[in-house]
Chain A
């Protein structure tokens, strides 16, 4: 009897153990795949190598890392004000019957497959922006280095960042909404009792949940860094260190998605090396956000 009782948990536990081992398995898989490359080149040279050029057999990741950080960072800058104000509007300003529906609508953004967002970016948003916003920027603001470009295309860092910002927003909105719900009613009541206006009250509530917002933004940044298909469709896929937001670029994920299947030998191993860099960035971001959350669980999220 005892043996039967135990054996079922050994059976189930082996599956749970499999789940636990998946993460180290991914890490060693990446290391194993990239080992051929790193036996010839040092990791530091790879990360700091400025150029990715197939014909010259030069595999430097710096341009891709630069593109990734610029595009994902810009996406985060775009999403932060929009998602905070949208979450506040949904949970504080709008009557409940309507805010629920609006919440569902915004959740629907998250269910759009990334390839469909990319399709919209390449066929609709990109051409639209290059005829309106980008034209305006180049004509009127080109004294700023970030808006200087020799040939204006619809597919550049700014398009990619706008699309990424849009894709990560629903997630941030829903987390901030959940956090706002956890603010004790006493704080709100005290603020109103002091005669504060609606927005002054909201500001107090936001400062109360600041760590929660930060954790959500870190996870969102991780998603932006990891997104592959939509970005590769609209970023123009030309590696460069150009500071202009209206110039094309490449990122870690776009280099992988565009070249991985046809790549062989050293190139394939170098692409897996890019994956290793991506692995480290996203694990770092997730861990930072988890750390904040676990601290919060002792705080207001108890």
Chain B
């Protein structure tokens, strides 16, 4: 009997140990970001967000160019990916038994787990590659946006579908009974009813792609200058962390921590907003 109790205690101890093992790196990462990066941001509160990076050995410099590049890239990706995601999500919910909806559900479940680096490669092959691409520009910012858009489309579609499925059928029946056309029912009745949920879906997609770096490196290459043209490589926050982190220069490594802190706060902020909107959704319907 005592042996049993001992074994129980041992296993329970191991369970708490694994929780500790999971928490330590998280705390460690935040600690490094805040101590190394936070210190840098506080010492240059404006310069950090507005200036371009300085060459190694020169004091100072910021990530303004990367913030600008990321904003352009993510903006275009949202413009392309969100409408496709929302429209196909609505179709998957409103025609849920049609073969296309079933196939779309199956495929988007696979695509959510699909390696993002491959999405980047295919986008590069068809759009930007000098040999096989339609536009033949070589590595370019617009290709990165297309890749990011393709990455968020299945995520947005699946979330929008889930949101539309929460609408009670009484609302649909009532709207159709009034003699409204399908497009009016969908865009005037159903969509406004779950507005908050759709915003959440978009925010989930945004949080997912804001941290992506592999598809950007593959399609856009690496750049450390201001954004100039859509057909040229553009800087972005994740790729800046990548190059600065791999560099042997202390100043750049410190700035990589600072950029990491900024990026993580940004993603957590988007996640926080998403949760706020989800709460609203349940009140709204």
Residues of A within 8 A of B (CB): 1, 4-9, 11-13, 15-20, 22-23, 25-26, 29-30, 32-33, 81-83, 85-86, 88-90, 93, 102, 105-106, 108-109, 111-120, 122-125, 166, 169-170, 173, 197-199, 202, 219, 222-223, 225-226, 228-229, 233, 253, 256-257, 260-261, 268, 272, 275, 278-279, 282-283, 286-287, 290
For B260-272 the 0/1 string (1 means CB < 8 A from A) is: 1001100110010
For residue B213, CB closer than 8 A to chain A, the reply is yes
A33 engages B22 (CB within 8 Å): no
Q: Can you show 20 pairs from A to B with CB atoms below 8 A apart? A: A1-B181, A8-B181, A8-B182, A12-B88, A12-B91, A23-B111, A29-B121, A89-B19, A105-B26, A106-B22, A108-B26, A111-B264, A113-B267, A114-B213, A117-B29, A170-B22, A228-B115, A233-B246, A253-B214, A268-B129
For residue B253, CB closer than 8 A to chain A, the reply is yes
Please indicate the chain B residues that have their CB under 8 angstroms from the CB of A13 in the complex. 91, 95, 98, 100
B121 engages A113 (CB within 8 Å): no
Per DSSP, are chain B's interface residues mostly helix, strand or loop, or mixed?
helix
Please indicate the chain A residues that have their CB under 8 angstroms from the CB of B263 in the complex. 113, 116
For B126-167 the 0/1 string (1 means CB < 8 A from A) is: 100101100000010000000000100110010000000000
Distance between Cα atoms of A286 and B108 in the complex (Å):
12
B132 engages A115 (CB within 8 Å): no
A32 engages B90 (CB within 8 Å): no
**Which stretch (B5-13, B46-54, B58-66, B276-284) binds chain A?**
B5-13
- Shortest distance between the CB of B160 and any CB in chain A (Å): 11
For residue B32, CB closer than 8 A to chain A, the reply is yes
Interface size class of B (residues with CB under 8 A): 35 or more
Known contacts A198-B8, A222-B113: A113-B186 contact under CB 8 Å:
no
A16 engages B100 (CB within 8 Å): yes
Please indicate the chain A residues that have their CB under 8 angstroms from the CB of B131 in the complex. 268
Distance between Cα atoms of A109 and B22 in the complex (Å):
9
Select from chain B the residue with minimum beta-carbon distance to A225.
B115
Known contacts A22-B111, A199-B12: A261-B218 contact under CB 8 Å:
yes
Please indicate the chain A residues that have their CB under 8 angstroms from the CB of B16 in the complex. 89, 93
Please indicate the chain B residues that have their CB under 8 angstroms from the CB of A85 in the complex. 11, 14-15, 17-18
Distance between Cα atoms of A108 and B126 in the complex (Å):
35
Select from chain B the residue with minimum beta-carbon distance to A120.
B29
Distance between Cα atoms of A113 and B268 in the complex (Å):
11
Q: In the complex, given contacts A6-B182, A261-B139, A275-B121, what are 4 additional A-B residue pairs having Cβ atoms less than 8 angstroms apart?
A: A114-B214, A116-B263, A119-B245, A233-B246
